[in-house]
Chains A and B, each alone.
Chain A
Amino acid sequence: MEMLVTALICLPFLWAILPAVIHNSKCRAFFVYLGCGIVIVLSVFTAVQWYLAGGQTLDFDLPYREAFDGVILFGDLFLMCLITYLSFKYKKGVISLLAIVQTLLVAGLEFFGPELEELPALRFDWLTLVMILIIGVVGSLIGIYAVGYMHGYHIHHHKELTDRRSFFLAMIFVFFGAMFGLVFSQSLIWMYFFWEITSVTSFLLIGYTRSDEAINNSFKALWMNLLGGCGIAAAIAVGILAFNTVNLYDIINLAIEHGTGAHTLIFLLPIACLAFAALTKSAQFPFSGWLLGAMVAPTPSSALLHSATMVKAGVYLLIRISAAMADNYVGNMVALIGGFTFLAASCLAISVSDGKKVLAYSTISNLGLIVACTGCGYEETIWAAVFLVIFHAVSKSMLFQCVGAIENTTGSRDVEDMQGLMAIFPKLAVILMIGIAGMFLAPFGMLISKWAALKAFIDTSSVYVSSLMVLFICFGSATTMFYWTKWLSKILGASPKEKSRDLTKKNEYISMFFHAFMMVALILGFPWLSENVLKPLSEDMFGTVKQVISYQNIIIMIVLLVGVFVIPCINYLMTKGTKAKQVITYMGGANVGDNFNFVSATGDPKEMHIANFYMEDIMGEKKLFTPAIMISTFIIIVYMIIVVGGAF
């Protein structure tokens, strides 16, 4: 097992060299496919191996632990120098201060701090299993998609940009390695290192095009994520100075054991720091700006950042520490921020028409729901949170790829331009529909989780948190439905255009169809998943097993599921042969012979454009974004003051 895990972490880092040095396009593509293939196989193999071995929690070290410790220390310093150099190069020197302070803090404590007991650096348990499968499978599929996409991006659409594909593909592999390392680490110092790598690679990926906008947005992402890194560094400092440990699980257990009692807040302090770091990484308000800015990057990197990896690092950490957040100040802070983000981001999603931006807001909103679940820290909410993580990773990655493919084919990713996509590009439209349905329709994964989450929030002990969370979820569900349904209706609408040529590459389709297949498999397999993966996971975390969802409801879900697929199909087949007299739509008598043109005031035919509602005066970014940032900042500051102030 040690060897497999070592390979899983180190191989992507080493493999990244290959696309970086090979510049022949075909040859490089081959090695990227091969690398992604190996990562998929390796992650699935490791997971299966561990599952068959009985699913016992393993604590272990990589071989040559001392060497790795050295590499990590050196790596931290190297990243600090890189950030400093780049921020001075682009005249944003202030940002380097964040990097210098935290790196020197961690390195200094390692050198001059008290001697620590040597504990295993890595751990393999059920949550790790779920995460490596997501990173390995969804992440690698994005890698495969990226090859074809980046080809089209440079050859057909953005001839003016410098071709830095080698760099781009190499960064994707670095990302995989860092994510694998992150989910295995139990030493905070290791976790901190991998955390910083994901921050820096995302910064480099967002700035890929080197346009002014890209550079600005990439620095925005950098400073927000570095601020989160400061949170981890602070947690390390508190851990070393107050408890003489940097082991994540020791810190969590201390917080759980001393959760009730007189001097509790000192034990909560590292948890609060970690939670703060995770909130920045998972782009919750007030740190949502970086994820929205990340839209300037080419689609594969947005998909990578949004679905499988980067943002999942944040919620992964939150799920880890959630047992220590049950019914205390930190948990309340996380739950409120999450619930608020769920509602605010879904309102904002109504007012935008850029497809990728809708996806970005919906990502933030869904992460908000997951974060809220972890903040509660009950078995049901963790059950819901892990389910949401899985479903969200698959459907969001698929949606991003699909919107990217649509943009490469039609030249626009605006929702308004997708009128009648079903008639023009049926394959892309079907994938888009499966993805959208997965995000909000009964009985897909999101709804199962929402059901469990709502139930758990009502049971939360703190009265005002519970009431607020219930309201957030109820209103957020309504707004979520609004923006997805209007998108769906756009795709299925009528179109004046004929079926046209699809420029989407084969490998893009392979990746997207595989995602669609996984989506359906996940829905069908959810009772199995709940029984065999989530149950042991919650047993590990809470020591008890609870039947979250009753068998009766599972049966209803399956009936609904069959309904969603079967009822429309049967009805379609039954009504196919119905005789109908084709008529044109009602336009007050102003039709010009078809449904798409009308007689204008000058008497000439004019094309009719039907637009969706965007409610800019109620839900617009201008109106809501700044207040949302202010409210969420206020919540964080108040709770941090309570925890930090109470600790000393």
Chain B
Amino acid sequence: MTIQTRVIFAICYLILCPFIIGLLDGFDRKISARMQGRRGPSVLQPFFDLKKLFEKEFLTANKSQLFMIRSYLCFIVLSGILFFAGFDLLLVVFSLSTAAMFLILASTSTHSPYSAQGTHRELVQIMSCEPMELLVAVGFYLAAETFNISEIIAGTASPYIMYLPGFFVGFVFILTIKFRKSPFDIATSHHAHQEVIKGVTSEMVGKEYAMVTLAEWYENGILLGIVGLFFLTNNILSVIGAVAAILVVWFLEILIDNTSARVKWQLMLKLAWGVTIVAAGMNLFLLEIIKG
């Protein structure tokens, strides 16, 4: 991959990602509403919300929160650039977990009971997901013998899903946690009347909340990108398959979100780790045997 293509990919990610994910979010709301028998807002609603949030008066319980949230956003974007410019997959995962730490620090800096509770639940969520994220990188290394994303794509004629079905299942499972969807919307809630209020984002208002939303869009872009990576090959037409797979996974998440009720964090941890060990662990073991 030349430097020029890397730069182009990075810029495309930077500009297009919020639009695409924002739009997907809009459709998400629409589809969810229809499933619940409501009309639902316009698909552009997420952008209106974001605009409104940025224009609001800036209220805060602790001013130092703002710079940590900005750092959170910057790190997510940096990880995304590393990913879409085709660098090391394992380092992308490491960099994402560093970014998450800034969100944790931002939310605990206020000494608010709700955001503190949300923070710790968020930490449990991260702990539930992290092994699987690392294992996905391991899986690609086993199949492609490199962590480098551009080499991973260039080095295969058949999609990786053939070697890594277990890793894929495990990853899709933790995506529900990553997207903050029910039954694992433990750290934040879509519904303000519940016991977590808004969890980790309770004390974030106006532009702070807008930035967190934006950061989540950028992060979701990376995560859906990893889903796509399972289906990409050195054939350019495989992009169609990857996009289709991403849309299917995305719809599946909406379906799960609308058909399940929140579980306790203990159960989430056990389920996430259990699925990781069974699905990814078995796949890992078999792949090692095949590769000898």
Residues of chain A at the chain B interface (Cβ within 8 Å): 420, 441-443, 447, 451, 454-455, 458, 463-464, 466-467, 470-471, 473-475, 477-479, 481-482, 485-486, 488-490, 492-495, 552-553, 556-557, 559-560, 563-564, 567-568, 571-572, 574-576, 578-587, 595-596, 608, 610, 612-613, 617-618
A476 to B: closest C-beta gap in Å:
9
In the complex, are the beta carbons of A563 and B78 less than 8 A apart?
Answer: yes
Residues of A within 8 A of B289 (CB): 463
B249 to A: closest C-beta gap in Å:
22
In the complex, are the beta carbons of A471 and B130 less than 8 A apart?
Answer: no
**A575/B91 contact (C-beta < 8 A), A455-B141, A586-B203, A595-B61 known:** no
Residues of A within 8 A of B266 (CB): 617-618
In the complex, are the beta carbons of B130 and A474 less than 8 A apart?
Answer: yes
Residues from 191 to 244 in B contacting A, C-beta threshold 8 Å: 197, 202-203
B32 to A: closest C-beta gap in Å:
26
**Of B16-24, B38-46, B69-77, B178-186, the one touching chain A:** B69-77
In the complex, are the beta carbons of A481 and B126 less than 8 A apart?
Answer: yes
A493 to B: closest C-beta gap in Å:
5
**A583/B60 contact (C-beta < 8 A), A477-B131, A489-B104, A567-B71 known:** yes
Residues of A within 8 A of B130 (CB): 474, 477-478, 481
Residues of A within 8 A of B112 (CB): 585-587, 595
CA–CA, A610 and B110, complex, Å = 11
Residues of A within 8 A of B63 (CB): 575, 578, 580, 582
Residues of B within 8 A of A488 (CB): 101, 104-105
Residues of A within 8 A of B87 (CB): 552-553, 556
Q: Is B138 an interface residue (CB 8 A)?
A: yes
Q: Is B246 an interface residue (CB 8 A)?
A: no
In the complex, are the beta carbons of B71 and A442 less than 8 A apart?
Answer: no
Q: Contacting B288 at CB < 8 Å: which of A455, A463, A583?
A: A463
Q: Is B161 an interface residue (CB 8 A)?
A: no
A351 to B: closest C-beta gap in Å:
13
A635 to B: closest C-beta gap in Å:
18
In the complex, are the beta carbons of B98 and A441 less than 8 A apart?
Answer: yes
B43 to A: closest C-beta gap in Å:
31
B167 to A: closest C-beta gap in Å:
12
Q: Contacting A610 at CB < 8 Å: which of B101, B116, B128, B147?
A: B116
Q: Is B8 an interface residue (CB 8 A)?
A: no
Residues of A within 8 A of B58 (CB): 578-581
Q: Contacting B269 at CB < 8 Å: which of A563, A596, A618?
A: A618
In the complex, are the beta carbons of B75 and A567 less than 8 A apart?
Answer: yes
Residues of B within 8 A of A495 (CB): 111
Q: Contacting B109 at CB < 8 Å: which of A458, A464, A492?
A: A492
Residues from 91 to 123 in B contacting A, C-beta threshold 8 Å: 91, 94-95, 97-98, 101-102, 104-105, 108-116, 119-120, 123
CA–CA, A443 and B95, complex, Å = 8
Using A451-B94, A471-B135 as known contacts, list a sample of 13 further A-B pairs with CB atoms less than 8 Å apart, ordered by residue number in A: A442-B97, A467-B284, A473-B134, A481-B130, A482-B127, A485-B104, A486-B123, A575-B66, A578-B58, A580-B60, A582-B61, A583-B60, A613-B120
CA–CA, A463 and B114, complex, Å = 46
Q: Is B172 an interface residue (CB 8 A)?
A: no
CA–CA, A495 and B88, complex, Å = 40
CA–CA, A419 and B134, complex, Å = 32
Q: Is B62 an interface residue (CB 8 A)?
A: yes
In the complex, are the beta carbons of B110 and A474 less than 8 A apart?
Answer: no
A335 to B: closest C-beta gap in Å:
15
Residues of B within 8 A of A610 (CB): 111, 113, 116
8 nearest A-B pairs in the assembled complex, by CB-CB distance: A585-B112, A478-B130, A494-B111, A489-B108, A571-B70, A571-B67, A474-B131, A474-B134
Residues of B within 8 A of A475 (CB): 131, 273
Q: Is B59 an interface residue (CB 8 A)?
A: yes
Q: Count of A-B contacts with CB under 8 A?
A: 189
In the complex, are the beta carbons of A595 and B269 less than 8 A apart?
Answer: no
CA–CA, A317 and B90, complex, Å = 31
Q: List 24 A-B contacts (CB under 8 A).
A: A420-B111, A447-B94, A451-B90, A451-B94, A467-B284, A477-B134, A481-B101, A485-B104, A488-B104, A489-B108, A490-B108, A494-B109, A553-B87, A556-B91, A560-B91, A567-B78, A575-B63, A578-B58, A580-B59, A581-B57, A585-B112, A587-B113, A596-B111, A618-B266
CA–CA, A586 and B59, complex, Å = 12
**A493/B108 contact (C-beta < 8 A), A471-B284, A585-B115 known:** yes
In the complex, are the beta carbons of A470 and B273 less than 8 A apart?
Answer: no
Residues of A within 8 A of B197 (CB): 586
**A492/B108 contact (C-beta < 8 A), A458-B142, A580-B63, A581-B59 known:** yes
Q: Is B82 an interface residue (CB 8 A)?
A: yes
Q: Contacting B123 at CB < 8 Å: which of A447, A482, A571?
A: A482
Q: Contacting A442 at CB < 8 Å: which of B95, B114, B124, B147?
A: B95
**A582/B60 contact (C-beta < 8 A), A489-B105, A571-B71 known:** yes
The chain A residue with its CB closest to the CB of B273 is A475
Residues from 159 to 179 in B contacting A, C-beta threshold 8 Å: none
In the complex, are the beta carbons of A467 and B60 less than 8 A apart?
Answer: no
CA–CA, A575 and B70, complex, Å = 9
In the complex, are the beta carbons of B111 and A563 less than 8 A apart?
Answer: no
In the complex, are the beta carbons of B66 and A578 less than 8 A apart?
Answer: yes
CA–CA, A568 and B94, complex, Å = 18
Residues of A within 8 A of B115 (CB): 585
A410 to B: closest C-beta gap in Å:
18
CA–CA, A613 and B134, complex, Å = 24
In the complex, are the beta carbons of B67 and A572 less than 8 A apart?
Answer: yes
**A493/B111 contact (C-beta < 8 A), A454-B90, A470-B138 known:** yes
In the complex, are the beta carbons of A568 and B67 less than 8 A apart?
Answer: yes
CA–CA, A293 and B146, complex, Å = 43
A38 to B: closest C-beta gap in Å:
41
A130 to B: closest C-beta gap in Å:
25
Residues of B within 8 A of A572 (CB): 64, 67
B264 to A: closest C-beta gap in Å:
12
In the complex, are the beta carbons of B120 and A612 less than 8 A apart?
Answer: yes
In the complex, are the beta carbons of A486 and B120 less than 8 A apart?
Answer: yes
CA–CA, A467 and B138, complex, Å = 10
Residues of A within 8 A of B203 (CB): 585-586
Residues of A within 8 A of B129 (CB): 478
B55 to A: closest C-beta gap in Å:
14
CA–CA, A560 and B126, complex, Å = 20
Residues of B within 8 A of A494 (CB): 62, 109-111
Q: Contacting A455 at CB < 8 Å: which of B95, B104, B147?
A: B147
Residues of B within 8 A of A463 (CB): 285, 288-289
A592 to B: closest C-beta gap in Å:
13
In the complex, are the beta carbons of B113 and A608 less than 8 A apart?
Answer: yes
CA–CA, A584 and B129, complex, Å = 33
Residues of B within 8 A of A486 (CB): 120, 123
Residues of A within 8 A of B127 (CB): 478-479, 481-482
CA–CA, A485 and B203, complex, Å = 19
The chain A residue with its CB closest to the CB of B198 is A586
**A478/B131 contact (C-beta < 8 A), A489-B105, A567-B74, A610-B111 known:** yes
Q: Contacting B119 at CB < 8 Å: which of A447, A489, A596, A617?
A: A489
Complex interface bits, B255-279 against A, C-beta within 8 A gives 1, otherwise 0: 0000000000010010001000100
**A442/B135 contact (C-beta < 8 A), A466-B288, A581-B59 known:** no
Q: Which of A560, A596, A612 has the most CB of B within 10 A?
A: A560
